[in-house]
Amino acid sequence: MSPKPKTGFLFKLGLIYLSTLSTFGESGIPSFDGKGSDQNIGEFWKGYDARKELLRVRVVEAWKTEQGEVRLVLYSLGKLQGSNKSASPYIAAYLGLPKGKESKPGIVHVHGGGQRANRKRVADWMTMGYACVSINWGGKVLEKADTPNTDWDGLAAGFIRQGVTKADQLDHHNTVRPDPNTLFKEPHPLNSSWNLISICVRRALTMLEQTEGVDPDRLGVEGHSMGGRSTVISCIDPRVKAASPSVGGSGYLYDDLWGLPGSARRMTKEDGSALYRKCVSAQSHWPHVKAPILFLGSTNDFNSPTEWVVKGMSRLTPDTQRMLVLAPHLNHRFTDQTSAARFMWMEAHLKKNFRFPKVSAAELVLDTDNGIPLFRVRVDQSSGLPVKEVEIYYGYARDPRIRFWRSAEVRKSGETYEGECPVFDSAEPLFAFANLTYGMPRALPPRPGTEATKLLTLSSEYRAAYPEDLRKSKIKPTERPSRLIDDFSRGWRDWYLLNRRNSHHWLYATRKIVDPAWIGPRQGELGVEIETFGDGNQLGVRINVNAWQGYTGRQKDTFVALVDLPKAGLHKLRLPVSQFRNSSGVVMKDWDEATELLFSPANRTEDPRARKSNWNGKPPSLAKLEWVGGKMIARPHPHQRRGKIEPGTRVSFDEEFQDAIEDSVELEKLDEKR
């Protein structure tokens, strides 16, 4: 048991609170060049003690809430001394302390890219009986523009703040390469903002440890996106007893995905790529994680590709408890039932009041009598929770960011569930997993963007078979092109829906048209049957093309067809390729580069031709999608190049990545309004 610091729980506004722990000398930052074979990130962090440096905490403001008390604080990272400069940063944070005299577990919440410390997240945890600190490492404005905020003291870290930081100097610094505003004038792990953020997390753990009413032996960390990665690299701190990163922290982002040369993110030797892989990238941290860890992912995430998440988690030591949760069809978002998993993970490991299921064992059987692969899962029932649903997903695309996840017909066979996963092309890989939904004895309270739920969805072991495996087996390609895209006889199983009850912001989307069975015929038309419930509407139908395909030399674009629907009722539409135009007015040339199909109110498409008026009536209902006319011919797979492209041609990844972050932040703002 770690000693309970005898420090005050009731801070006085505006005063400085000092820890009673000994100071940490300037030479305390360990040296690390990453060259020695015996050097690793675990050894590096052993040289840093987040308790040693004098902890200063200033309470800027405090509020009484239904759950307890929330304080806006500034806390010190201590003096960071390097060969280039020294700095003494302060980090702003919301600290939530729930009501009740009993000792509470504590959570550190780490925000993502483009985000800030989140009072509502603190309130969520307080409602469940946790103390929570949400750190504002990015430095974005909190209460008001002049509210005391994060100060990195001249270090390249955090986000740009107008009038405070300059884009060419003090923005987030990814690499270990030195510049005028890094700690070291030579390549060093602490030149990278990632490890500076980890110091923020570790010092926040110290603050929780030293807060009366918080149990220092029951601390957890959770974070989203950039915060997810920060969670992975910080939870190797032995004080962390449970961790839950989401859609960030997979590692291997600078490696090519299987069969996709040029798909890796770029980093040069001059940037210190070798040292970065060894001491900053998440893959170097996974083997050192000892805390029980649940990774909350989405199957089509742009920031943590599924295969890399699986590979990263495979580096955990055998005795480390782990769970992977994948929200099907989504990118950087979750369902209510998958989102519940991280909260129940903390309940299980910090409060010990919930028995969490173990990972369900699964296999992908290739040698079958009929030549069709079979996915089989043995659902874990050790928790005693009732099994409500078993879903089996499989897909082919090499790039997980655009992969369409088919859903198998599931049948129960004894103590296992199984479903066939027919193959379209044995020269392409096959990926499969199952989602298991359990009933919970009590409902998890609603949170921004989610509703209260008594369901918990977890993922099974993830399986893959590559062309070499398929060739060695008895597998036969049995799938064929189909004109019928969806008749909705299985509901929305092949789609993701956002804001589905919001008449102004609803969105229905699928990647089904990237699957080789449903790629559009040459010069065919998209047939749509849609029922609307209000007059005077304009529908926006979007086709995203070449998403995340920069390594092919093709540029992502969005083409929109606008359809006036003057009267409520069932509408049967025929949309030719020529009806889809991008923001510059260019007509889409064909369907074969499409990666996603989306339906929404026209004024949500950002198309300059769209009417500005909101949707009238409740959100519509789709009844049928099909291809009409045109020639059903063999189409190239998404990763295959079309025509002549100069060697080495690659469209910039950074712009598309930044767009994805901004889209995610905007969707999360809508969640706050739900």
For residue range 312-344, list pLDDT tens digits in order: 999 999 999 999 999 999 999 999 999 999 999
Structurally, how many domains does the chain consist of? 3
Which contiguous run of DSSP H or E holds residue 665? helix 653-673
Exposed / middle / buried, residue 653 (Cβ in 10 Å: 0-12, 13-18, 19+):
middle
Q: Does residue 233 sit in the same domain as residue 98? A: yes
Residues 490 and 468 in one domain: no
What distance lies between CA 362 and its chain's CA centroid? Answer: 24
Is 90 exceeded by the pLDDT of residue 21?
no
Indicate the pLDDT class of residue 159, thresholds 50, 70 and 90.
confident
Q: What is residue 644's predicted lDDT score, i.e. its pLDDT? A: 53
| Together in a domain, 208 and 171 | yes
- Which residue(s) pair with 361 in the sheet? 378
Q: CATH number of the domain at 376, please.
A: 2.60.40.10
The verdict on residue 629 lying in a domain is: yes
Q: Which helix (H) or strand (E) covers residue 41, if one does?
A: helix 41-46
Residue 14, pLDDT above cutoff 80:
no
First to last CA, the chain: 42
pLDDT of residue 265 exceeding 50: yes
Residue 318 maps to a domain: no
Q: Could you tell me the pLDDT band of residue 651, with boundaries at 50, 70 and 90?
A: low
- pLDDT confidence of 647, banded at 50, 70, 90? very low
Report the pLDDT value the prediction gives residue 648, as an integer from 0 to 100: 45
From the number of C-beta atoms within 10 Å of its C-beta (0-12, 13-18, 19+), residue 244 rates as buried
List CB contacts of 381: < 8 A, sequence separation 6 or more.
Answer: 357, 387
Encoding tokens for residue 466? Answer: 């590559």
Average pLDDT of the segment spanning 533-551: 97
What is the pairing mode between strands 104-110 and 131-135? parallel
Pick from 445, 472, 499: which residue ends a domain?
Answer: 472
**Beta strand extents in 101-202 (DSSP E only):** 104-110, 131-135
* Whether residue 375 is found in the same domain as residue 488: no
| H-assigned helices in 176-225 | 193-209
Looking at the domain assignment, is residue 621 inside a domain? yes
**What is the rounded CA–CA span in Å between residue 316 and residue 282?**
12
pLDDT value of residue 3: 35
Q: In this structure, which amino acid lies at residue 318?
A: P
**DSSP result, 316-357:** S-TTS-EEEEEETT-SS---HHHHHHHHHHHIIIII--S-PP
Together in a domain, 64 and 161: yes
401 and 539 inside one domain: no
- Together in a domain, 441 and 526: no
CATH number assigned to the domain comprising residue 633: 2.60.120
Specify the amino acid at residue 409: E
CA gap 180, 185 in Å, rounded:
8
Name every residue whose Cβ is closer than 8 Å to that of residue 3 and which is 6 or more positions away in sequence: none
Angle at 364 between CA 243 and CA 395, to 5 degrees: 75
Query: Does residue 666 fall inside a structural domain?
Result: yes
**Nearest to 237, CA basis, from 39, 41, 20, 14:** 41
Helices 226-234 and 193-209 cross at an angle (nearest 10°) of: 70
Q: Is residue 567 part of a domain?
A: yes
209 and 74, same structural domain? yes
pLDDT at 372 over 70: yes
Q: What is the pLDDT of residue 43?
A: 82
Taking the C-alpha atoms of residue 617 and residue 536, their distance in angstroms, rounded to an integer, is 10
Are 89 and 157 in a shared domain? Answer: yes
- What is the identity of the amino acid at 478? T
- The percentage of the chain sitting over the pLDDT mark of 90, rounded to a whole number, equals 81
For 584, the token pair is 């510059």
State which residues form the domain around 578. Answer: 484-673
Q: Are 221 and 110 in contact (CB under 8 A)?
A: yes
CA separation, residue 626 to residues 509, 521, 527, 528 (Å): 15, 11, 5, 7
Burial class (CB in 10 A: 0-12, 13-18, 19+), 223: buried
Residue 477 lies in a domain: no
Residues 462 and 508 placed together within one structural domain of the fold: no
Residue 522 and residue 402 share a domain? no
Domain check: are 181 and 132 in the same one?
yes
Task: Give the tens place of pLDDT for each residue, 584-616.
Answer: 999 999 999 999 999 999 999 999 999 999 999
Residues 6 or more apart from 583 whose CB is under 8 A from it? 558, 606, 607, 608
**pLDDT reading at 347 higher than 90:** yes
Domain membership of residue 284 (yes or no) is: no
**What count of other Cβ atoms lies within 10 Å of the Cβ of residue 200?**
27
Residue 13 has pLDDT above 50, yes or no: no
Residue 230 belongs to a domain with what CATH number? Answer: 3.40.50
Q: Which of 251, 284, 307 is the last residue of a domain?
A: 251
| Residue 509 phi, psi dihedral angles, 5° rounding | -145, 150
- pLDDT over 70 at 37, yes or no: no
As a whole number of angstroms, the distance between CA 337 and CA 320 comes to 24
Confidence of residue 46 (pLDDT cuts 50, 70, 90): confident
Residue 317, in any domain of the structure = no
On average, the pLDDT of the chain sits at 91
What six digits make up the tokens of 410?
Answer: 């599931």
CB 392 within 8 A of CB 430: no
For residue 532, how many other CB atoms are within 10 A of its CB? 22
Beta-strand (E) ranges in 487-604? 496-498, 507-510, 525-532, 537-545, 557-565, 569-576, 594-601
Domain end marker among 206, 223, 251: 251
Q: 200 vs 666, which has greater pLDDT?
A: 200
Name which of 95-104, 429-438, 499-508, 657-666 the model is least confident about: 657-666
Residue 630: Cβ-neighbour burial (10 angstroms; 0-12, 13-18, 19+): middle
Separation between Cα atoms, residue 291 and residue 241, nearest integer Å: 5
